[in-house]
Amino acid sequence: MITVTRSGPLTTVQDLGRPGYAHLGVPRSGALDVPALRRANALVGNPPDAAGLETTLMGCALRFSAAARVAVTGAEAVVKLDKVPVDGVIDVPAGSVLDVGRAIKGVRSYIAVAGGIDVEPVLGSRSTDTLSGLGPAKLTDGATLPVGSARGASLDEGSPADYPEELELGVRLGPRDDWFAQRELFVTPYRISPMSNRIGCRLAGSALTRTRIGELPSEGVLLGAVQVPADGQPLIFLADHPTTGGYPVIGVVDDVTPLAQARPGTTVRFRALH
């Protein structure tokens, strides 16, 4: 069992999500930085779909009641075991406290424990969905988490990601690209707003010009959909996005993974995909 001694501003249980339920109004959810979670799981010998913890900016601290093998990936942060800095795969003795500190680069750290976080799955996933409330609640100080049985040996999977100060995102236009002056999307630099979260990445920059006036009934939206609200500022839907929306979608980003570690103020540019 793990006891949370410092929960941080938003630490949640995440795995690879619950795809296949959008027709029921349930988004995929899951880790925002899937490669980072996969790497953490590989390092402690877990299968790729094992549940771990996703922290946000300020990390968290955990006390382990039994010895455990742990790996921390994702955002660059100082990790301490009983106040002593550590790195790599960490063998945590029973009774020790592991503290994942403030993110120095990136936003989200991923903590994998050999055996995985063994909370009760909902619709086949242990992920916390911050929009619908499915899955376990976000972590609070004093909360406890069960750990499953360790399975295999540690494996290395890939290298840590780089976190650039400017992102270029490929986007496929549609279905409502004819509602806007499309060229503006590709010539305007945007900055990531502090109002971003697991539901969506809000962008700030020159408002997109509407070429068609009117309202839409709610229609389905996907991971990576670029929705344009009334203020003209694009919003990119992330893992906990709603499954329907009433604002027009100008296009869909092909890979939202870089946004998982992009800090507020990061420049975002769009590139057209054909």
Per-residue pLDDT tens over the stretch 51-76:
999 999 999 999 999 999 999 999 99
User: Is the preceding omega at residue 164 within 30 degrees of 0, hence cis?
Assistant: no
- Would you place residue 157 in the very low, low, confident or very high pLDDT band (cuts 50, 70, 90)? low
- The pLDDT score that the predictor gives to residue 203 is 98
What confidence score (pLDDT) does residue 154 get?
67
pTM, two decimal places = 0.95
pLDDT at 234 over 70: yes
* Residue 156 clears pLDDT 70, i.e. is over it: no
* 149 vs 78: which has the higher pLDDT: 78
Q: What's the whole-number average pLDDT of the chain?
A: 95
Q: What is the mean pLDDT of residues 233-250?
A: 96
Query: Does the pLDDT at position 106 exceed 90?
Result: yes
Amino acid identity at 169: L
**Model confidence at 84: pLDDT above 70:** yes
- Give the domains, in start order, of the chain with CATH numbers: 2-145 (2.60.120), 166-272 (2.40.100.10)
Per-residue pLDDT, 251: 97
* pLDDT-derived band at 158, boundaries 50, 70, 90: low
The mean pLDDT value for 215-239 works out to: 95
Q: What is the pLDDT of residue 213?
A: 86
Return the amino acid letter for 201: C
Cα–Cα distance, 72 to 112 (Å, whole number): 7
DSSP at 23? G
pLDDT over 90 (residue 124): yes
Q: Is the pLDDT score of 153 beyond 80? A: no
Q: Average pLDDT of 141-165?
A: 81
pLDDT above 70 for 205: yes
